[in-house]
Structure 1
Amino acid sequence: MMNIVKVTLPEKCRIICVSDIHAHYDEFARLLRKCDYNNESDYLFILGDILEKGRQNIETLHFIQKLSHDKKCVCIKGNNDTMVSRMAFDDEKEKFLERLTYRPVNAYMQMAESIGITDFTTDFDNKRNAVNQKFAKELSFVSGLPTAIETEKHIFVHAGIENRTDWENSSEQFVLCAPWWIRSGHALDKYVVVGHFPTYNFARGKNTNLPIIDTDKRIIAVDGGCSVKSAGQINAFIITKDGESYSYDNVFEPSEPCEKCTIIKDYTAARHYSYLDYEKSDLEILGKSDGLVSVLDKHSGNSGLILENYIAQWGDGHYHGWTNLDAFVCVNKGETFCVYYKNEKYCYGIAQSGEVGMIPLDCVAVYKEKYV
């Protein structure tokens, strides 16, 4: 049975729900300030994947440990949070070293490097014991994270629950790793709030990283794609409770290296985006110009333009894209735009509205902030 934290909420309160921080301490801290988090009155639910993929594993972990001293803050486990425990306690040397080949920057190695250990090819057991001893409290905290939070009207898990009324008997593998879960559903009257899979991946994401609220399926998805999408963010999905009434809002913070720019002239997109399923897409290249590729998606039948560095041939022999087609966004003078990529004519990023896509490069001027 799952380790579930049951929370009884007061008559009035806010729940700030964050997922998939992925070792981005700076952005997470900015996000909490942006939504005026107050640990005395607000509940903070962190839906897993606090570690890995980013470069601030130790800072993020220590910050969340400190936040969790308050009972109103509950952090649950995500699939990426299991890696540090496996490296610390479960992996044989061969498996341990194999992990470093595909993820050399990870939470456990950052712990090791902080005490001067940079190589595990020799004296493996003694070095691992030294790291485990130094970070015993941190490793205990991560391995002891619960798998779900339950309130009167909501259930919070990392990836999803099995479609059964006794949801608490869902397997941990499913709860932490279920892909594309919001396309399926569940058997409960409560809303289930999840992270794990970026909302941009879904047509219902509407070309944004913003949360998806599916009232028919009673599912809320909040993963903003931090460290996963080419232009990602961390969402703070805010649930405001007033008696039996619940309202929803969202605040976001752009993630990963980006330039925060200001829009110097209005731009109205002449095209409307077409959703592209990155997994099922099968792109036929029709032509190239100005760093853009004209493609036909043989899976959906849609055609459009995509930046040439966001298309690649996979092992299945097909060309796949990982942004939507014709993803040009409208912006107004004076707004901000977070740039993740630019060529000689276009830049790609997150608009102030939350929409993700391209605008002409001459619409932006570099602002004073640069996130690296």
Structure 2
Amino acid sequence: MMITPKHIKKSIKGDYRLIVISDIHGHLDRFKALLQKVKYTPDDYLIILGDFVEKGDQVIETIHYVKQLSQNKRTFVLAGNCEWALDALLTVPELAGQIPQYLERVSTNGCIRDVYHLLHLDDGSETMLGVQKKLAEYLKEEIQFISHLPVTLKFNQFIFVHAGVEKRKDYQESSLSSLLEMQYFYDEGHILDETVIVGHLPTSNYFADHICNDIIIDQKKKIICIDGGTGVKAVSQLNALIIESQNNQIQYTCEHVQPLPIYWIIEDVYEPMEYVHKIGYPHFEVKVEKSGSQFSECYQAETHQRLLIKNEFLYQKKNKTYCLDDYTDFMISALSGEYVKLLGVYDEYAYVIYKNQVGWIKYEYLKAI
């Protein structure tokens, strides 16, 4: 059964506490840690804003846990584009032939891949339609749950939707593609009186000069974006937006989890930088102007930026060069005794988070706590 647009409303009076989490992408441990961090209780309203499946390695467990939470009448689970894609891929016969492409290009982790290997469907003995039927049978319970999810929730003065709504008062008539996959909602805005809260696109996409996955609260646009990039970005976090209403006054707070190892800085570091550059979605194509042993001098045409890119972040495809992910050339200056969160080690340099700023520091200046 395919997901069909279903729109629900909830109107309550009095004080309340509401927690919104989006784009969990099969990272159940992060999700549970975040619920614990925000001190979630069954008395809270909880909204899961879609895309809790695929990309992670705990997808089936996440579906079961989300389903369990949804038994509470104060929990609302919405569909995202990943739930729609999973449902369609396993229930529409015409899409069976796309399963190999999905496994190769779309979801390097996820429940389809897990079950595909578990049932030894990669041995070539089944037609793709046969593969689809076996996957659907194994995941019958999970598909049944996600196929009945609503796509929007109006909760008092808020509208919750995975990706966005079209510029129309009857937002429920927006196309399913817009509701689940809209790419430019934050840029284009809406015409509703309510504040629209979305996930879908990592908030890092909207920061021009640095990498940041924090929640964006834009009261002028009446838009809140909460996707922290979990399962999508190399630098990511799982965000929670907490909305508290007391005496008809709304207060927002934000929390996140970002499980990364902590390292001490063991020597003063000074790296003077006149400008800091960032490469981000969708401008990943670059031209290498001068190769170096650690970093290469590159030019990004659309943003007119020249910057140093770590060689490990460069790759070739169809005779073009691309940067692997969101990237910054920020070189960190710091004092001995301060600490960083370690994202990765690339030859002589470490990619770290220092005081909420992503950047580079020589690995020899770090010591694990």
Structure 2 unaligned regions, length at least 5: none
- Displacement, 1:260? 0.7
Could you say which residue in structure 2 is the equivalent of 1:183?
Answer: 187
- Cα distance between partner residues in 1 of 2:160 and 2:249: 18
CA offsets 1:314-346 (integer angstroms, 9 cap, x no match): 558464563344334566766664323212332
Could you say which residue in structure 1 is the equivalent of 2:74?
Answer: 72
- Cα distance between partner residues in 2 of 1:314 and 1:127: 30
- Displacement, 1:221? 0.9
Residue of 147, 152, 157 corresponding to 1:148: 152
1:248 aligns with 2:264: no
**Aligned-pair RMSD on alpha carbons?**
2.9
Could you say which residue in structure 2 is the equivalent of 1:356?
Answer: 358
CA offsets 1:114-164 (integer angstroms, 9 cap, x no match): 6x4544743556665555445433211111111011112211111111111
Could you say which residue in structure 2 is the equivalent of 1:53?
Answer: 55
Distance change (3 Å), C-alpha of 1:204 and 1:287: closer
Distance change (3 Å), C-alpha of 1:305 and 1:11: farther
- Displacement, 1:5? 2.3
Q: Say whether the 8 Å CA contact 2:15–2:248 is kept in structure 1.
A: no
Q: Say whether the 8 Å CA contact 2:265–2:340 is kept in structure 1.
A: no
Distance change (3 Å), C-alpha of 1:130 and 1:316: closer
Residue of 207, 211, 224 corresponding to 1:203: 207
Could you say which residue in structure 1 is the equivalent of 2:301?
Answer: 298
- Cα distance between partner residues in 2 of 1:314 and 1:13: 51
Q: Say whether the 8 Å CA contact 1:88–1:128 is kept in structure 2.
A: yes
Query: What amino acid sits opposite 2:82 in the alignment?
Result: N
Distance change (3 Å), C-alpha of 1:267 and 1:227: farther
- Displacement, 1:168? 1.2
SS state at 1:193 partner: strand
- Cα distance between partner residues in 2 of 1:48 and 1:205: 28
Residue of 13, 16, 22 corresponding to 1:13: 16
Distance change (3 Å), C-alpha of 1:172 and 1:334: farther
Query: What amino acid sits opposite 2:152 in the alignment?
Result: A
- Cα distance between partner residues in 1 of 2:67 and 2:148: 12
CA offsets 1:210-245 (integer angstroms, 9 cap, x no match): 111222211111111112112111111222222322
Query: What amino acid sits opposite 2:81 in the alignment?
Result: N
Q: Say whether the 8 Å CA contact 1:198–1:209 is kept in structure 2.
A: yes
1:168 aligns with 2:169: no
1:346 aligns with 2:363: no
1:228 aligns with 2:229: no
Normalised to the residue count of structure 1, the TM-score between the two structures is: 0.85
Aligned residues: 361
Distance change (3 Å), C-alpha of 1:85 and 1:270: same
What does residue range 252-271 of structure 1 map to in structure 2 within 5 Å?
252-254=256-258, 259-265=260-266, 270-271=272-273
Query: What amino acid sits opposite 2:239 in the alignment?
Result: N
- Cα distance between partner residues in 2 of 1:320 and 1:143: 36
Could you say which residue in structure 2 is the equivalent of 1:89?
Answer: 91
SS state at 2:23 partner: coil
SS state at 2:84 partner: helix
Query: What amino acid sits opposite 2:224 in the alignment?
Result: I
